[in-house]
Amino acid sequence: MTSADDLTGSQDRSGIPPATGGTGHRRRTASALLAVVAASAAILSGALPAAAKPTGEPTAGATKKARKHPVPPERMSTVGGEQLGLPGVRIQPGDGAPELPEQLTGLSWIVSDATTGEVLAAQNAHWRLPPASTLKMLFADTVLPKFPRGTTHRVTPEELADMGEGSSLVGIKEHLDYRVEDLWRGVFLRSGNDAVHVLAHMNGGIPETVAQMQARADELQADDTHVVSPDGYDAPGQVSSAYDLTLFARAGLRNADFRSYCATATAKFPGDVDSKTHKRESFEIQNTDRLLTGAWGMKPYPGLLGVKNGYTTNAGNTFTGAAERDGHTLIVTVMHPEPVHPNEVYIEAGELLDWGFSALGKVTPVGSLVGPRSEQSPSPSATPPTQQAGPSPAAAGTTTVEAGSTSTGGGSLGWTAAGVAAALAVGGLGVARTRARTRRRAAAWASSGPSGSTALSASPTGSTAVTGRRRRRRLPTRRR
């Protein structure tokens, strides 16, 4: 049976009691491992890959063993860099670089610096896998800016129909009023598919919302993502990747409401109306992100900003988390780790965050997080000779993204405006001067070209589209 219940998914699979320590605390006894074997057989057709080793290329032993397990494609998307399109662990350590955590079991993971856009390390970053409820980040990126948080909406029975069996619910009731901010807390804290469906109907319906989500994914250059359901519930052909989920989180964290919701540990949610007092009751809801709340024996991760966890039978556990430290915001995505522990996805995410903060400045990036397509420079000629982009609003201050901003940067807009101004200036000079001098200047300009017009591959420090302009060519996408 398919389930999108982020609360019970990983708990039911292993039968192992909650952990009693932090992200580095693992109790894998012989009995626990036996329970894992049985649980894994019930979930997957085969076992999952062994822990990836911290090398630049897959080892011969790992390749041989992988024949019995799910194997990533030999070539994947190269959005963000050529190395990200290759299978296996991608890392370029320098002097003093820490070793990658041991016992990483996720089929796919990625560690990125959201401040600079650098990908510090990754494994199968573009492998298309079921995303589960982490896809709700894209739903929020698409729909959240459309409705003021104080807007009130009365729920109809039709809006709560056609949810998948076993869907995670926050407990919305028909014929009752809910504020938009309450609905979004239901989405982020309880991963409520009922809240998603209500918001989707407010947005024009499920098909319209799915189409808008796909368009948003395409705009963000998330070319691995194919949207079928807005809530992440298992559906044929619905896939995403660790790279794409990281793009969704990075875009969402630029919105103040998105940041507020995903960082909320507990909240009061509207309940039924008391039949005697006719007053609206409320109940407390807790975020299902255990790395945020410390539930099930986890310790809250220091500086965690969110963002979203997920679970379905088909996807296993998925998680994207962001944390801030020393002026850097790191984003880690882990997809489908082995069910060796009920907290496994959080343990591995926490270990990768620890590694990422220790590795800053000690590893050469293996790729970058690209910016939206609309922010890519239309052509090199639009860049004036000496114009340079300043830090984007999202990167200003280098701590996190700009509050209240739903854009993903403004560098390319500055370049375009400056280019237009330069062109107008040249036109004015041509009118004022003689035809001969104008022809000579035009000939000289055409023969030499604007200085620096070809140096567009790297953006200034702090840009939200680091090396993104190299990826203007959209690769063909196979939908599964």
Residue 176 pairs in a beta bridge with: none
The closest of 423, 397, 391 to 410, measured between CA atoms, is 391
DSSP secondary structure, 318-364, as one string: EEEEEEEETTEEEEEEEE---SSSTTHHHHHHHHHHHHHHHHTTTB-
Query: Which of 77, 108, 133, 412 is labelled catalytic?
Result: 133
Tokens 């063993």 sit at which residue? Answer: 65
**What is the sign of the dihedral through the CA atoms of 221, 224, 227 and 232?**
negative
Say whether 53 is catalytic: no
* Whole-number Å distance between alpha carbons of 65 and 403: 47
Per-state percent for the chain, helix, strand, coil, to nearest 5: 35, 15, 50
Tokens describing residue 21: 């320590």
Say whether 268 is catalytic: no
**What is the sign of the dihedral through the CA atoms of 82, 86, 89 and 94?**
negative
* Whole-number Å distance between alpha carbons of 385 and 381: 9
The number of CA neighbours under 13 Å toward the Cβ of 16 is 28
Question: Do 255 and 405 meet the contact criterion of CB atoms below 8 Å apart?
Answer: yes
Say whether 459 is catalytic: no
In degrees, rounded to 5, the angle at the alpha carbon of residue 361 between the alpha carbons of residues 357 and 364 is 110
Query: Which of 191, 240, 459, 463 is labelled catalytic?
Result: 191
Residue 332: Cβ within 10 Å count: 27
* Whole-number Å distance between alpha carbons of 257 and 179: 14
Question: Do 317 and 309 meet the contact criterion of CB atoms below 8 Å apart?
Answer: yes
Query: Which of 10, 108, 136, 377 is labelled catalytic?
Result: 136
Q: Which residues are catalytic?
A: 133, 136, 191
